[in-house]
Structure 1
């Protein structure tokens, strides 16, 4: 066996060996100072697995290095530092999976003119790896796994004339738009088999002519108008909110409702409403609803029919759809207002839907029943506005501290029943209108005296 450490081999210029041991401590070629051509292809038995930092130490005269068909799992970033005169390097078919070449691994190979790194599993083509190859003329990158190649790296290779990127899964997206332009229009660099290269996403499309128009849109113009629009909205929105909030809110609802087939069908069936009133209440007030409101409005042979959450909502249906159907399937919506009611988001939605219907149909379909005294400051602007608008259909439940609770409550139920029936073409005849209004006015006066 040849002893590469012997001083007698200093004059060797060409070496082709198949059984090199890389122990990572010393270089087996340290005495071969005049070696110019070294072939280490397909090392037995499993190939050259690792190349440590001192492996090529002393090979200052080396011109060509062959490392094909090895299973290189580790390539030290200083492995080629002593090969300052190297002109040819091949690492063809040294793939053991996806490879990440260490930054600076080729930093001293400034004289290399041909580099073959085919089928190495290279995933990133970066300047920190390939950027120092200033005299490189031929670069063969085919059968690697890069999906994009940076044009900046290619332009950092001023002597490049020949580029092989066959069988590289390049994506036909904007990140490769500059590469497409470089490969098609750069007359200095020949990209072999360019017009047969396919897109990774669609093999029927060709890389050299995929559409890149969308990639060159001037983003500055879009950013300017987008920023201007946002600033305008932030400036104008507070003013509109203060001045036109309710008008805009209800106008939007009316506009949208015209285009809603679901709600339109419900409005068309209003004259055939399934319920006389939909009861909107918070679960904390359910005892009052079940013990007071339900017996007095539906009991004692009354013809009124109420819609209640737990009893009449369709099981398995979206809660919002159930609420919308209940509001539009009832001639009136009665809101049982308490402090708990005001804190409930679902109750807020129900009262707003009833108000939308009021503005859309120009008919008063909303009745407010206050279970307890609530100060004006505790009401939101929305509820204060509704309280002012609905003076005729705003009722206060008489508590036990009034002068005559039983009589006051009887008047309360008469008023509520009359308000539910008001406006119904099925139950109110035109010739009874004056008599009903007179009686309502009289009862209202008595009721207000009783609850004071």
Structure 2
């Protein structure tokens, strides 16, 4: 059982053989069609005293007992369509005193011998598609004061006699009589004399054209509000002739609705007093100078042949519709002061002089009408025009200033979609300041034309610029649209929607951008969307479903109510078949990745900080380690340039220059020393000079130790690098000179110096000349060997 709305239940097509007892007593509407209830009796139905509408269509009902409906006396509608009922209990329907509508379509009735005399509140009786041969009504129906519809369609009524309509003659009210699809051969003259019907439907109600011709004449004296005639299908085998519809001249009707009927000039004279004329799928060749007296609405739909219209001076005409016709020659639509609506859509038009003297025209539809040249004076005199529709009509003759439209000061609706107009930057709708709806899908824009097109359209509420190959929209485009509520930009090439945050779009309630190239919308745009936006169509865009767009995807998921096609918002994929819904994207997987990224980033930062601290703490060792490595890689690629590299403090430079250099370089043989103050290459890094020129470019290293030496960071650095380098070479090439006594604690400040002094022989400078002579001999020997 399905609940459709409050109080409405459906058990349609469930193959049930009983009415469920679980139905609440409050049910008002029950659809139990297409089930199996061969016999209706009281026990079949639970107590449903509030039930008003019961549909038992095609439930295989054969037998209806007297007490069948006792549990639902408040029924107002009973539908028994398609049940082969062979027995109605004498009072089975009479208990339904409140019944308004009784449908007994296709129930096998041969006559109205069913007792329903107590249904005095009945409004409608539909007994179509049966085998009834007479339309005579039971006499008790005279008392059915509210009865207004008798549907006898598709029965077997062939003859209508005067006696058959006696009850109808006496019944009061606006009655609709449907006799369509009956094989009527004869109507007795006078059968409908002086009768008034709200509507008479005799479409396909005659067995032949001859029977129709005579039957229409036999309806003489009938007064009817609406007369429905013609055929449901066009019979090419039937030969029509002028005068087939002349019998209409004997019938008084307000409206006529014709389908598949031919109309000659003489037959048109029979409808001159009608107020509403509809001729659909007819064979009308011309409507020219027909003296219509009261016509308010004239409709010509899908005429099979070209038709010529001359409709001047019809002072009562308010609506003209001539649509879906291969070719219409309009010789004149002029001097009709009450004409308000013209629809000439889907027609090939020839309009040499048209639309003159129509001061009250409100709507004009020329859509899907081939090609049309818009002359400068085409809309002259149409100052009241509010609706103008040209969609799917190729327009030519428009100038840059849109001169023809500027005269339409009251225009509220303009549709120029797919009219092949190309807009240049100079074109503007600025003069149409009362326009509310603008449709221009399929248009083309040159340069920045779109940026200026909508200037001063202060009343526009709806704009459609879909399928215009727009790839971007400038911020100023919506500058003059303070009331815009609905914007359609479907089937374009947009990638961004930043223009939506324009202050003039604050009242926007609907935005359609389906089938564009939008991959994502930044969070700042989403947070500043118009507050009134209730519909956003993003379907069929290549949405980027990656974790980098997690905020956008979460926003879509949490705002599903504003997406009319949420199941068509699909993730970008190479294959259309493999594209999945954005709302089904696994957000939790991104959360795991994000957590992992955060943890990894924190660890990386911690390691970086730790490495920086360690690098700062051990920068000295890192520096000379780098230098050592560099020197090792290039050690075998260069020759010695010096005999010895002297490491000393700049404060001991006098002793070095006066004593050391003087005795070694000027002696025999001369010893070439490397001094930083003299031999280091200018512009080169100090550390590189120490390695390249000093340590690696010299066979020996002389270290002059003094108090100044132990206090110098450069001296300490040079000694430690030299010591490490020479250790890797395996040669004891360091010669230490103690220039002055240094405290043991200070020697320990220099890495490796104290240990070296303990394990290796060193030279000590003395002021005694005899000792100094021995000092120079030993030093020269140490350097040369």
TM-score band, normalised by shorter chain:
0.5 to 0.7
Residue 446 (structure 2) aligns with: 71
Distance 1:302 1:43 in 2: 103
Q: CA deviation at 1:191?
A: 4.0
Q: Per the alignment, do residues 337 and 226 of structure 1 end up closer, same or farther by CA in structure 2, a change over 3 Å counting? A: same
- Aligned counterpart in structure 2 of residue 324 of structure 1, from 675, 691, 702: 691
- Aligned residue for 2:461? 85
Describe how 1:42-441 pairs up with structure 2 within 5 A.
47-49=423-425, 55=430, 58-66=433-441, 68-73=443-448, 75=451, 79=455, 82-86=458-462, 88-90=464-466, 92-94=468-470, 100-102=474-476, 108=482, 111-112=485-486, 114-116=488-490, 118-119=492-493, 125=498, 128-129=501-502, 135-136=509-510, 138-140=512-514, 142=516, 149-150=521-522, 153=525, 158-165=534-541, 175-176=548-549, 188-191=566-569, 194-196=572-574, 216-222=594-600, 224-225=602-603, 250=621, 260=629, 263=632, 276-280=643-647, 293-294=660-661, 296-302=663-669, 306=673, 323-324=690-691, 326-328=694-696, 330=698, 332-334=700-702, 350-357=718-725, 366=734, 385=750, 389=754, 410=773, 413-414=776-777, 416-417=779-780, 420=783, 427=785
Q: How far off is 1:49 after superposition?
A: 1.3
Change (3 A) 1:229 1:312: closer
Matched residues, number: 375
1:290–1:72 distance in 2 versus 1, CA, 3 Å: same
| Other structure's SS at 2:701 match | strand
**Cα shift at 1:86:** 0.6
Q: Deviations over 1:9-65 (max 9, x none)?
A: 331422656635469xxx947713333424596656xx321677x826524432524
When residues 367 and 118 of structure 1 are mapped into structure 2, their CA distance, relative to the original with a 3 A threshold, is farther
8 Å contact from structure 1 (residues 39, 65) kept in 2: yes
Secondary structure in 1 aligned to 2:599?
helix
Name the one with the larger helix percent: 1
Q: Relative to structure 1, is the Cα distance of residues 72 and 15 closer, same or farther in structure 2, using a 3 angstrom cutoff?
A: farther
CA contact (8 A) 2:631 2:696 kept: no
The 3 A distance-change label for structure 1 pair 357 and 387 is: closer
Contact 1:5 1:30 in 2 (8 A): yes
Distance (whole Å) between structure 2 residues aligned to residue 346 and residue 22 of structure 1: 85
Q: Find the aligned partners of 1:284 and 1:147 in 2 and give their Cα distance.
A: 71
**1:9 aligned to 2:383?**
yes
Tell me the distance in 1 between the aligned counterparts of 2:485 and 2:700: 90
Structure 2 spans left out of the alignment, 5+ residues: 1-374
State the SS of the aligned residue for 1:277.
Answer: strand
For residues 97-135 of structure 1, the C-alpha deviation after alignment (integer angstroms, 9 at most, x for no partner) is x76434965975664263237246x66646515985854
**Offset from partner CA, 1:275-321 (integer Å, 9 cap, x none):** 65223579999999788645632554448565577999999999856
8 Å CA contact 1:298, 1:306 repeated in 2: yes
Please give the alpha-carbon distance, in whole angstroms, between the structure 1 residues aligned to 2:550 and 2:747. 55
Contact 1:333–1:365 (8 Å) recurs in 2? yes
Q: Deviations over 1:142-198 (max 9, x none)?
A: 36xx775437757956523453446xxx98976446667889998815147943379
- CA-to-aligned-CA distance 1:56-106 (integer Å, 9 cap, x gap): 6524432524472112426269847635431523372356xx764349659
Q: Secondary structure at the residue paired with 1:195?
A: coil
Whose radius of gyration is greater, 1 or 2? 2
Question: 1:232-286 CA deviation, whole Å, 9 max, x = no partner?
Answer: 789x879x95xxx6xx955x6898899x59628959x9xx989652235799999
Deviates more, 1:69-78 or 1:272-281: 272-281
Give the Cα–Cα distance (whole angstroms) in 2 for the partners of residues 106 and 282 of structure 1: 82
Alignment TM-score, normalising by the size of structure 1: 0.53
Cα pair distance change 1:383/1:35, threshold 3 Å: farther
| Contact 2:463–2:486, Cα closer than 8 Å, also in 1 | yes
Name structure 1 gaps, 5 residues minimum: 199-205, 422-426, 428-452
More strand by share: 2
Q: Secondary structure at the match of 1:221?
A: helix
Q: Deviations over 1:417-449 (max 9, x none)?
A: 46657xxxxx5xxxxxxxxxxxxxxxxxxxxxx
- Quote the Cα distance in structure 1 between the aligned partners of 2:719 and 2:773: 26
